Structure 1
Amino acid sequence: METLFVVAVGLFIATNIDILLVVVAFCLDEDYATVEVLLGYCGGYLVGIGGAVFGAFVVTGVLQRWTFLLGCIPIGMGLWGLFRREPDPEGDELQVTPGSRGRVWVVTVTAIALNGENLAVYIPFFVGLTPEQLLAVVVVYTIGASVLFLVAVLVTRLTRDLPHPAWIDRWLVPTVLIFVGSYVIVSGWIAV
């Protein structure tokens, strides 16, 4: 059981670095209240973890031998992130800030989108677990999600006046996605 928790925590950390960075960015944005970011983040997390559990049940009965191919999703996202060209900014663009519900919705949708690559990692991992192990991992991930939010708030408070380094979005996040996707493919391929 200890090995299971070490693997589970490792996967959680590897797949949530990008989410941590995005939550920090939302917390740094003066248009978003911390409670709005919290509500949106929680909504996105619940959809993501629920989708992973549901996906594991579906895959267990139908496609268990091929779940490792889901690792192609984060690899593709990581390669896209590394090789895409950012458009050059052209002056000040008009930005519309939504109301409170709209801001919560923006954070929720962003968190759901970021949890997309987590599905490619969590589903193959969840497939091999017993119901008791799955419940334990979901509890650990929920605790981890809470800690992640608290760390994001702490980082925000400590770094509010520092510039956001571009290399995090440009290189770190895509590299982590490629690493995680490769891990899913290799570990699944070895198991088959």
Structure 2
Amino acid sequence: MLDHVIFALSAALAQVLTNLDNLAALIALMLVSGAASSVAGFLLAQMLVLVAAMAVAYGVSDAVPHWAGYLGVFPVGLGLWGLWRQFSSHAEAPASPLPAGASVVVTTLLFLSMSVDSFIVMAPLLADSAPSYRVAGLIGAALAVCALAALALAGARATSVAERIARRMEKIVPYVMICAGIYILSNTWTDMVQ
């Protein structure tokens, strides 16, 4: 049981760290479009990402169970690309392109486009895990998404401080993706196939 809790916490941490850019965008977007549609779009997008990651996990484990661990190559590759971008350019992230009063559908699409890194980490992590660990990981990631939404609501009052913290924390995301990829590539106790 404790190992499931630890795996859920690991999945939650991966979800939080790959969503720091979304958190900064959510806080900024809440000031422009309002809290209700922004948070609803964020939550809907993240739930779609988690459902898609779980679907991929079950699809891969059914189709090619012995190859699921090799999906770790994708987070490692994306993490290395993120490190390269981090050290090769110092361009600031563009401001939110959404007009005031953007709908839930528009904000959902924005957050889906920004959540590729979360999907690339969560899908292999869940695919390479036994079914009971998948459920624990999904629960941990979903709770992390809810915590991020609550944090964004609280952070909307102290926007400049929250955005600065989120932007600084974003710098560790490539390292997290590389570590998650290496974990997926290694044969661990959460794996579906030992």
TM-score of the aligned structures, taking structure 2 as reference length: 0.76
**Equivalence for 1:50:** 51
Deviation at 1:65?
A: 0.9
**Counterpart contact for 1:71–1:183, Cα < 8 Å:** yes
**Counterpart contact for 2:22–2:115, Cα < 8 Å:** no
C-alpha RMSD of the superposition: 3.1
Whole-angstrom distance in 2 between the partners of 1:7 and 1:95: 34
Unpaired runs of at least 5, structure 2? none
Q: For 1:187, what is the secondary structure of its paired residue?
A: coil
Q: Check if 1:184 corresponds to 2:184.
A: yes
User: Larger deviation: 76-85 or 37-46?
Assistant: 37-46
Compared with structure 1, are the counterparts of its residues 161 and 167 closer, same or farther at alpha carbon in structure 2 (3 Å cutoff)? closer
State the identity %: 18
**Counterpart contact for 2:19–2:115, Cα < 8 Å:** no
**Counterpart contact for 1:40–1:111, Cα < 8 Å:** no
**Equivalence for 1:142:** 142
**Equivalence for 1:83:** 84
**Equivalence for 1:116:** 119
Whole-angstrom distance in 2 between the partners of 1:135 and 1:94: 36
Q: Check if 1:104 corresponds to 2:103.
A: no
**Counterpart contact for 2:57–2:124, Cα < 8 Å:** no
* 1:18-40 Cα deviation digits (max 9, x unpaired): 21442233213432322222122
Q: Number of residues paired by the alignment?
A: 183
**Counterpart contact for 1:74–1:180, Cα < 8 Å:** yes
**Counterpart contact for 1:36–1:103, Cα < 8 Å:** no
Larger Rg: 1
Q: For 1:157, what is the secondary structure of its paired residue?
A: coil
